[in-house]
A and B are shown apart, each in its own frame.
Chain A
Amino acid sequence: MSDSNHHIVSYRTYGLVLVLLLILTGISVAVTQIELSRWATLAALLLATTKSAFVLAIFMHLRFDQRIYRVMAVFVTLVIIAVIVLTFFDYGFR
């Protein structure tokens, strides 16, 4: 019986990830103090994406689960991004 369910992630790993997430949160807040104007959105989104990646990979176990879940998660993310991009074919060029 192989079951990724039985992969045990240590308390320590979870704790470390939390620390990382808190640091990234701190950076996000700090970065807004700097005048970045047009890059501000990008910076905020990049940091949020990084935080999400950790939540998905470790907290939500994607790193330890069967590959199919990762494939699906990536696929869905790409679809959402593609929808936003396509919508901006309209709004970006009005």
Chain B
Amino acid sequence: MSSNPKEHTEYKSYLEEDGGRKGIYKWILSTDHKRIGLLYLYSMMGWFIIGVVLGLLMKLELIAPGQTLMGAQTYNATFTVHGVIMIFLIVIPGLPAVFGNFMLPIQIGAKDVFFPRLNLFSWYIYVLGGILVIISLFGNGAPDTGWTFYAPYSFKTGTNMLPAALGAFVLGFSSILTGLNFIVTIHRMRAPGMTWFKMPLFPWTLYGTGWIQLLATPVVGITLLMVAGERILGIGFFDPAKGGDPLLYQHLFWIYSHPAVYIMILPAMGAISEIIPTFAKKTIFGYRAIVFSTLAIAFVGYFVWGHHMYTSGMSGAALWAFSLLTFLVAIPSAIKVFNWISTMHQGSITTEVPFLWAASFIFIFMIGGLTGLVLGSLATDVHVHDTAFVVAHFHFIVFGGVGFAFFGAIHYWFPKMFGRKYDKNWAKTGWITFFVGFVSLYGPMFYLGIKGMPRRYFDYLPEFHGPNIISTLGALVMITGFVIILVNLINSARNGEKTTEKNPWGGTNLEWQVATPPPLENFDEIPTIEKATYKYD
């Protein structure tokens, strides 16, 4: 057990450590995992605002049939860039980049991640990827292919596919390196006595996620390179005229992009698994079941990609195989939901802000998951594929899932991260506004999809008008809620009541035993773990 003599001097929060640097260099040259987590938080906030604006523009276009704000070409570019930003710059980095970076080392009793400089480098290339996406907006115009970049259109379109593809490639690298870093960190840097099954659940999800980042991302990397090869050399991999198969593009693309959704949701579930026990004052129900479910989701989720392609022309054998596997992967997710609810049962619940987000997460996630079964089943999918139903499903499960968990996590760990309190009343107001807006925005889309409204169209038949109005109004309400939340948090981070309380919520893990905010190396002395940190006595 190492003991750094220098730590026995005055406590200094990590925010006060500047490594001898001034201004912005304190941040962009720091290899402190906590600062890097915040760098991601601030970058992602910026991107999120842009992504939301793009989404709002789409909803405003859809408030009435016919052209409202923009024509088809602009609309196509808008939903493409909206998707690229939200997927590659927000939800995939998501909780790992922010809370994984900030909390993982602390939760396992380490002073940083295994490769701190690689960690900072991951953020640098995150920024580079974002710049490439921005570059794609100029010149010939933003790509209009959808974030899925399907061939052959992706190599025929005159728009800026190459910068966008390169941007996605670079962002993929950032994701891979983060996953690699976390896996090595978890293997090698757990505190003495912290066996695998004494580790909290959030790190477990980061571990499973890390493997997906490692093993799935390279496939989309090579696929994007192949598209570049098509555009630059006319190489023919996906060009039917040259013997290529556009469907192969879809296979390769979804071999990554389906596991990608588990990159998104597993850490979100991990955060929920942290929050609920704290506010139920009860040890999580079925810790091992949740661990194995996490690994099962990561593993089985790797083999279900074909469910995005039911109507593309795959063979019958592929259809049933993928549908079967898709149903299988739903099982461990359901197990987690049962365990969360069982944790709450006969617990001593306090409806603090993080708990509100966690409870509503379960509700939203379930709707997303159940509608996923509609899509996973061949006969029903044929009816709703490429309709608004799909859009509703993935917004419920990704935005609802990752988003709600993210908001829950930020409200949970905020005092620890910033040493400040936020206004709980504003936070609750923001939550309920957001929640109501969210359901109003995406709920009607299920109905619209079943009724036949296609996705990715800037226009629709008059009979779809009513629900679309509700949806667009819902967007405005949701955005209002988001603004309330954001302003409250930003304001509180800068001017909120200071706090040095180590454990405001009564949580059990190691992060609640270090100072608030944590010192640079988290611990004065690396602890020795005797009992499982996630347990309530």
Contact = CB atoms under 8 A, between A and B. Distances in A.
Direct contact of A and B (CB under 8 A): yes
Interface of A: 68, 76, 79, 82-83, 86-87, 89-94
Contacts of B315: 89-94
A72 to B, nearest CB: 9
A82 B317 CA distance: 15
B31 to A, nearest CB: 26
B316 interface: yes
Q: Majority SS of interface residues in chain A?
A: helix
Contact of B317 (A68, A76, A79, A89): A89
16 contacts: A68-B187, A79-B215, A79-B302, A82-B302, A82-B303, A83-B255, A83-B303, A86-B306, A86-B321, A86-B322, A90-B247, A90-B317, A92-B315, A92-B317, A93-B315, A93-B316
Interface in B128-161: none
Nearest to A94: B315
Interface string B311-330: 00011111001100000000
Contacts of B302: 79, 82-83
Chain A to chain B: the 4 pairs with minimum beta-carbon distance, closest first: A93-B315, A90-B318, A93-B317, A89-B318
Nearest to A82: B303
Given A76-B215, A79-B215, A83-B255, A89 B321 contact: yes
B193 to A, nearest CB: 19
Interface in B217-272: 247, 251, 255
A76 B218 CA distance: 13
B303 A93 contact: no
A89 B316 CA distance: 9
A90 to B, nearest CB: 4
Given A76-B215, A79-B215, A86 B303 contact: yes
Contacts of A86: 303, 306, 318, 321-322
Contacts of A79: 215, 302
A86 B251 CA distance: 10
A14 B315 CA distance: 47
Q: Majority SS of interface residues in chain B?
A: helix
B23 to A, nearest CB: 43
Contacts of A92: 315, 317
Contacts of A82: 302-303
Contacts of A87: 251
A93 B215 contact: no
A92 to B, nearest CB: 7
Interface of B: 187, 215, 247, 251, 255, 302-303, 306, 314-318, 321-322
Contacts of B317: 89-90, 92-93
A91 B321 CA distance: 13
Contacts of A93: 315-318
A91 B315 CA distance: 7
Nearest to B219: A83
B303 A90 contact: no
Contacts of A94: 315
A76 B315 CA distance: 27
A13 B317 CA distance: 47
A82 B219 CA distance: 14
A91 B250 CA distance: 13
Nearest to A90: B318
A88 to B, nearest CB: 9
A90 B315 CA distance: 5
A87 B318 CA distance: 8
A86 B255 CA distance: 10
A54 to B, nearest CB: 24
A5 B302 CA distance: 33
Contacts of B247: 90
A79 B302 CA distance: 9
A83 B218 CA distance: 13
Contacts of B255: 83
Nearest to B320: A89
Contacts of B322: 86, 89
Contacts of A76: 215
A50 to B, nearest CB: 24
Contacts of B306: 86, 89-90
A79 B187 CA distance: 21
Contacts of B215: 76, 79
Contacts of B316: 93
A75 B453 CA distance: 43
B167 to A, nearest CB: 25
A82 B306 CA distance: 14
Nearest to B302: A79
Contacts of B187: 68
A20 B180 CA distance: 34
A87 B305 CA distance: 10
A83 to B, nearest CB: 6
Candidate in B251, B255, B306, B318 with the most chain A CB atoms within 10 angstroms? B318
B200 to A, nearest CB: 22
A83 B255 CA distance: 8
A4 to B, nearest CB: 15
Nearest to B215: A79
A86 B307 CA distance: 12
A94 B248 CA distance: 13
Nearest to B251: A87
Contacts of A91: 315
Given A86-B303, A93-B316, 20 more contacts: A68-B187, A79-B215, A82-B302, A82-B303, A86-B318, A86-B321, A89-B306, A89-B315, A89-B317, A89-B318, A89-B322, A90-B247, A90-B251, A90-B306, A90-B314, A90-B317, A91-B315, A92-B317, A93-B317, A93-B318
